[in-house]
Amino acid sequence: MDLTKGIPIIKYDNGMVLPLEDMVVKEYALTIMLDGEEFITLLCTPSSLDCLTVGFLLSESIIKSKSDIKRIRIDEEKGIAEVSTIDSSMIAKNLHGKRTSTTGCGKGSTFYNAVDSISCRKIMGSMEIDAKAILELMRDFNKRSELFMNTGGVHSVALGTDTDIMLFHEDVGRHNAMDKIVGEASLKDIELSDKIVLTSGRVSSEMLIKAAKAQIPVIVSRSAPTDLAVELASQLGITVIGFARGQRMNIYSNPERIKFQ
Amino acid sequence: MDLTKGIPIIKYDNGMVLPLEDMVVKEYALTIMLDGEEFITLLCTPSSLDCLTVGFLLSESIIKSKSDIKRIRIDEEKGIAEVSTIDSSMIAKNLHGKRTSTTGCGKGSTFYNAVDSISCRKIMGSMEIDAKAILELMRDFNKRSELFMNTGGVHSVALGTDTDIMLFHEDVGRHNAMDKIVGEASLKDIELSDKIVLTSGRVSSEMLIKAAKAQIPVIVSRSAPTDLAVELASQLGITVIGFARGQRMNIYSNPERIKFQ
């Protein structure tokens, strides 16, 4: 499916008025049907909808792993993701929670429980990464952000090793982009405890909790974290890096994973 | 309440490692209690919480006007907004809807009905504004975005006449900032049908629907709109302007409101 759409606009430039065509990013409604019941509608960029569906269900703790899913069928035209699970009564139990609305670009809404962050296991892994390697990854990440460059309307999230970017997704919602990463990693059985996440957007508490649930130890952003995200990161053993640009970055929590030479 | 917090960080700059203090933006959990029942928790910037509460309830069509509210009490310390309404059975009816999760920065979640956009009245007003006046307002708007400049973590939304900015809010969520504007306008009985909204963030379908519900005819962004937002704007009679920077802007819908000299 096309991710952008050309539409007629009027450009105003210092007194000049010019009718022309501009590319805007598509915003697509995907309704997740869970065992035949309508569950939620996500507004998203229409790419990797299977990854988004699996990642969303994992991030929200509706499923514990991809093996809880019997079948996914995406109907792109109707905007429906039909998910059959292996145990619908367990799913119904997982759904029973508090609803929190969030600061996030991106899906933003979450069946999120006040104790969710506490139920995340603290990340103890011994992963280490060189500061220079992070800035190198960030340069590569910036180069890949094509949809953003074309339309100015999306966020990117990538999954990296200490030398390479393995997975990359773009979405009008940065939380969707993160869920696509988590979903694709799950579908491809990629171990996350020795990887880092790169994001173009802010690190809010919800982004942090998504990383924690997926057991990703390092999150690097071109932008800023919030105080709550840093606090949760300290508790949950996640290294948060912000303003990673050019030769610089700020390390907000758990700096022991970063090697400085 | 403070909107930012100083935290110890490690700054890495081209091989140099410097421990110092950095300011990060606060992310605060506000739980709205509706007639004694827990309704939703918004993650937001802790300012103008009364405006946010009223604006959120208006934008979600939980209330029709501020006169539906008997009393609001904000407990800043506990993070609770207690709202008593004049008719709790009517509120319960309004709550009955479909839940959609959105692309938005900001609260993002919405008890949003597929036909919500259709139930918005088309904006027919004869409001006109000069292109130069819009760019002038945008310059003023940019100057005011203080919290963003300090922390890099928030979005701003303002309400303007054709000559002045009347209301201004910042929030970690751009939808919250918009709700604060709608809420303050309602509390101060400000007529919106001849005003414009300025925003630092993307114009998604949800931002557009918020403007439509509030009957605001023009929305101007420093950033991009999505295709769905432009489509809804055309249907609902809203003028959408994007990339308003310096001497330039793009007009995506209903350009008849803009005077070019």
Residues 6+ positions from B59 with CB-CB distance below 8 Å: B110, B178, B179, B182, B209, B210, B213, B214
Quickly list DSSP for A172-225. Answer: SSHHHHHHHHHHHHHHTT---TT-EEEESS-B-HHHHHHHHHTT--EEEESSPB
From the list B38, B103, B151, which residue is nearest A106 (CB)? B103
A218 touching chain B per CB within 8 A: no
A260 touching chain B per CB within 8 A: yes
- Amino acid occupying residue B97: G
Band of pLDDT at residue B185, cut at 50, 70 and 90: very high
d(CA A126, CA A160): 16
- Amino acid occupying residue B210: K
d(CA A61, CA B103): 20
Q: Is residue B150 part of a domain?
A: yes
CB contact under 8 A, A252 and B22: yes
Are A110 and A212 in the same domain? no
Question: Residue B114: pLDDT above 50?
Answer: no
Residue A193, min C-alpha distance to chain B (Å)? 23
Question: Residue A32: pLDDT above 60?
Answer: yes
Torsion over CA: B123, B129, B133, B134 (sign): positive
Question: Residue B110: pLDDT above 50?
Answer: no
CB B4 within 8 A of CB B55: no
A55 touching chain B per CB within 8 A: no
- Amino acid occupying residue B86: I
Q: What's the confidence (pLDDT) of residue A67?
A: 96
Supply the CATH number for residue A37's domain: 3.10.20.10
Tell me which residue of A30, A29, A36 sits closest to A83, measured CA to CA. A36
Residues 6+ positions from B202 with CB-CB distance below 8 Å: A105, A153, A172, B103, B105, B174, B221, B223, B224, B225, B226
Helix (H, G, I), strand (E, B) or coil at B223: coil
| pTM of the complete model | 0.90
Q: What's the confidence (pLDDT) of residue B94?
A: 74
B248 touching chain A per CB within 8 A: yes
- Among A136-140, B37-41, B221-225, which is the least confidently predicted range? B37-41
Are A141 and A168 in the same domain? yes
CB contact under 8 A, A248 and B14: yes
pLDDT tens for B47-100 read 999 999 999 999 988 999 999 999 999 999 999 999 999 988 877 777 765 444
Percent helix / strand / coil, chain B, rounded to 5: 30, 35, 35
Question: Residue B219: pLDDT above 70?
Answer: yes
Specify the higher pLDDT residue, B126 or A69: A69
Q: Is residue B6 part of a domain?
A: no
Are A80 and A161 in the same domain? no
CB contact under 8 A, B105 and A105: yes
Specify the higher pLDDT residue, B242 or B88: B242
d(CA A102, CA A206): 7
Burial class (CB in 10 A: 0-12, 13-18, 19+), A154: buried
Averaged pLDDT, A39-59: 95
From the list A153, A175, A205, which residue is nearest B202 (CB)? A153
Q: Which of A38, A47, A59, A101 to probe by mutation at the B interface, max B CB count within 10 Å? A: A101
| B253: alpha, beta or left? (left if phi > 0; alpha if psi -120 to 50) | beta
Question: Average pLDDT of chain B?
Answer: 89
Domain range enclosing B226: 129-259
Q: Is residue B23 part of a domain?
A: no
Averaged pLDDT, A36-51: 94
Q: What's the confidence (pLDDT) of residue B106?
A: 33
Is there a catalytic annotation at residue A51? no
Band of pLDDT at residue A97, cut at 50, 70 and 90: low
Q: Is residue B8 part of a domain?
A: no
Averaged pLDDT, B208-218: 95
Q: What's the confidence (pLDDT) of residue A65?
A: 94
Question: Residue A243: pLDDT above 80?
Answer: yes
pLDDT tens for A99-108 read 445 443 333 3
**ipTM value > 0.90:** no
From the list B25, B110, B204, which residue is nearest A172 (CB)? B204
Question: Residue B261: pLDDT above 90?
Answer: no
A169 touching chain B per CB within 8 A: no
Q: What is the dihedral of CA A84, A92, A53, A67, to 10 degrees?
A: -60
Q: Which of A3, A4, A7, A12 to probe by mutation at the B interface, max B CB count within 10 Å? A: A12
Burial B232-249 (b: 16+ CB within 10 A, else e): bbeebbbbbbbbbeeeeb
- Give the number of C-alpha atoms closer than 13 A to the C-alpha of residue B7, restricted to the C-beta side: 22
Are B83 and B194 in the same domain? no
Q: What's the confidence (pLDDT) of residue A145?
A: 83
B102 touching chain A per CB within 8 A: yes
What would the two tokens of residue A31 be?
A: 């309704």
A18 touching chain B per CB within 8 A: no
d(CA A192, CA A249): 23
Residue A249, min C-alpha distance to chain B (Å)? 5
Q: Which of the listed residues A118, A152, A174 is the one where a domain comes to its end? A: A118
Q: Is residue A7 part of a domain?
A: no
pLDDT tens for B186-205 read 999 999 999 999 999 899 99
Edge-first strand listing for the sheet containing B239-245: A16-25, A4-13, B248-251, B239-245, B218-221, B196-199, B155-160, B165-171
Are A105 and A225 in the same domain? no
Q: Which of the listed residues B119, B148, B163 is the one where a domain comes to its end? A: B119
Supply the CATH number for residue A247's domain: 3.40.140.10
Are A75 and A194 in the same domain? no
Q: Which of the listed residues A98, A118, A138 is the one where a domain comes to its end? A: A118
How many helices (H) and strands (E) chain A has is answered by 8, 16
Helix (H, G, I), strand (E, B) or coil at B168: strand
Q: Is residue A86 part of a domain?
A: yes
Q: For residue B224, which residues of chain A lie inside 8 Å, CB to CB? A: 24-25, 151-153
CA A14 from centre of chain:
38
Widest CA span of chain B, in angstroms? Answer: 63
Determine the residue of chain A that is closest to B177 in CA distance: A103
Are A136 and A90 in the same domain? no
Are B253 and B139 in the same domain? yes
How many domains are contained in chain B?
Answer: 2
Q: Is residue A81 part of a domain?
A: yes
d(CA B80, CA A160): 40
Determine the residue of chain B that is closest to A100 in CA distance: B41
Q: Is residue B172 part of a domain?
A: yes
Are A202 and A225 in the same domain? yes
d(CA B233, CA B195): 16
Averaged pLDDT, A171-179: 94
